[in-house]
Amino acid sequence: MKQNDTIHAHTMQGQSAPLWRLLQSTAAAVQATRQGRSLTAQLESVPAELRPGVQALSFQVLRHLGRATALRQCLASKTPPPAVDALLCSALALCWRDADAVYPIHTLVNQAVEAARQQRSTQAQSGFVNACLRRFMREREALVQRTDTDVQAQWNHPRWWVERLQADHPLHWQTLLTLAQTPAPMTLRVNTQHQGVADYKKKLDALGVPSQAVGDHGLQLGKALPVQHLPGFSEGHVSVQDAAAQLAAPLLMQGLDKQAEWRILDACAAPGGKTGHLLELCPKASVVALDVDASRCERIHQNLRRLGVQGQVMAADAGQPADWWNGQAFDAILLDAPCTASGIVRRHPDVRWLRRPTDSGQLAKTQAMLLKALWPLLKPGGRLLYCTCSVFKAEGDETVQAFLQRNTDAHLRPSPGHLIPGQPPAGLPVDHNPLGEHDGFYYALLEKRQG
């Protein structure tokens, strides 16, 4: 989105919108995030013609909000009203460093001031916005240097988040924080019921789209594509799924006969990516996909229809089996438990600002409750794969170790544990392909002892 001196951003319809309008909606997204609303939900309220530009700017701002907040504190020690503060911080996040500026800095400043003038909630303080940003342009180098010692400004994550990563991953915390500032790659899962990974790679090569094999069924793209441009996407030949998430189904079914009529539960299944993968791997399996949110269950239905596979989808609370379980035990259970999503902050840069220090501990209680509720549903000799898209140990190793202490019939099979982006994963089959770039994840495969 690098521009010269233009103040317009092109939209999907080929029209253009003034930059000040995009900045208004970007600032509204920052304000909403600070008030606890997810960026995904906020973007749904943005007019369709503005949404692509606003999403791109919002991602950039949220990745640099720590630095921007520290700079704003230097420029105005008293916190301005929320709408004014959000607009100021948005502008500062976009222009604090030349290498990351998506527009010329003088253009960003002019258009941020115009955004303030054009909006009732900020109009009265447009002069204040102008004064702060003009001062920043004059003193930028000194102001940036002044904020360099601020942990939140340096790493663009809350201080508590940085400290937790330092404690949980003393060797890799800097890698985790650095990677969080970069866009995540687009990774595909090839449906091998239709074709092999190598065959699909040839189709991408023919389109001029470079890719590399990752995992057992994945291809990581050198550049992102709209899904409608992917060969065979609407026919279910391929799905978009991160390389770490693609491990779930193969790990759960590792060493088992894929042609057997297994009875499998996918708890907390929405949007259905892992459900679909299970049915691709085990076409004769009977898979029950649960999600507590009925609207998200529709996403599961849509995914399974596109893939041409069938599973039983139920809107129900996995933690309350008495409300939905028919008493027939499962051979295998996949529990992708609710978590802080600290491992997918590259894809969702708002997560770092939405979470609170106590969230991990509270979610760990939910995870423990779900494990306790689902374990009795598993046959002796069956297996349960526990996973989260979190890099915090309270939601991974600590949860599983506590469960093992309370359940002597549970045995921990060889498992990857915490998957750290940028580090080779452990606990995978010897012949497993490298995962390339991937999200942060946790996996523990638990087996119920016979007798």
Residue 423: pLDDT band by 50, 70, 90 thresholds? confident
Beta carbons within 8 Å of 405's beta carbon, 6+ residues apart: none
Average pLDDT over residues 57-65: 98
Q: Is the bond preceding residue 283 a cis peptide, omega within 30 degrees?
A: no
Q: Is 282 a catalytic residue?
A: no
- Residue 7 scores a pLDDT above 60: no
Task: Give dist(CA 236, CA 250) in Å, integer.
Answer: 19
Residue 12: per-residue pLDDT: 35
Could you read off the pLDDT of 210-249 as tens digits, one per residue?
999 999 999 999 999 999 999 999 999 999 999 999 999 9
* Residue-level pLDDT at 124: 96
* 8 A C-beta contact, residue 367 and residue 442: no
Asked whether the predicted pLDDT for residue 398 surpasses 60, the reply is: yes
Question: What is the pLDDT at residue 16?
Answer: 76
**Whole-prediction pTM value?**
0.92
Residue 108 pLDDT > 90: yes
Is 1 a residue whose pLDDT tops 90?
A: no
> For position 11, what pLDDT does the model report?
39
- Average of per-residue pLDDT across 424-439: 74
3-state secondary structure of 248: helix
- Amino acid identity for residue 404 in this structure: L
Please report, for residues 156, 199, 202, 252, 266, the alpha-carbon distance to residue 329 in angstroms, rounded to integers and kept in the order given. Answer: 46, 39, 43, 16, 13
Give the pLDDT score at 71: 98
Domains of the chain with CATH codes:
8-156 (1.10.940.10), 185-241 (3.30.70.1170), 243-448 (3.40.50.150)
Q: What angle do CA 373, 379, 380 make, to 5 degrees?
A: 110
pLDDT (0 to 100) of residue 432 = 64
* Mean pLDDT value across the chain: 93
User: How does residue 429 score in pLDDT terms, banded at 50, 70 and 90?
Assistant: low
Q: Look at residue 131 and give its three-state secondary structure.
A: helix
pLDDT recorded at residue 77: 83
Which backbone phi and psi does 327 adopt, to 5 degrees?
90, -5
Q: Phi/psi class of residue 10: alpha, beta or left (left: φ > 0; alpha: ψ in -120 to 50)? A: beta
268, 297, 339, 389: the active-site residue: 389
Cα separations (Å) of 424 from 83, 345, 397, 434?
A: 43, 19, 18, 7
Question: Are residues 20 and 103 in contact, defined by beta-carbon separation less than 8 angstroms?
Answer: no
80-104 pLDDT per residue, tens? 999 999 999 999 999 999 988 989 9
At 270-321, the pLDDT tens digits run 999 999 999 999 999 999 999 999 999 999 999 999 999 999 999 999 999 9
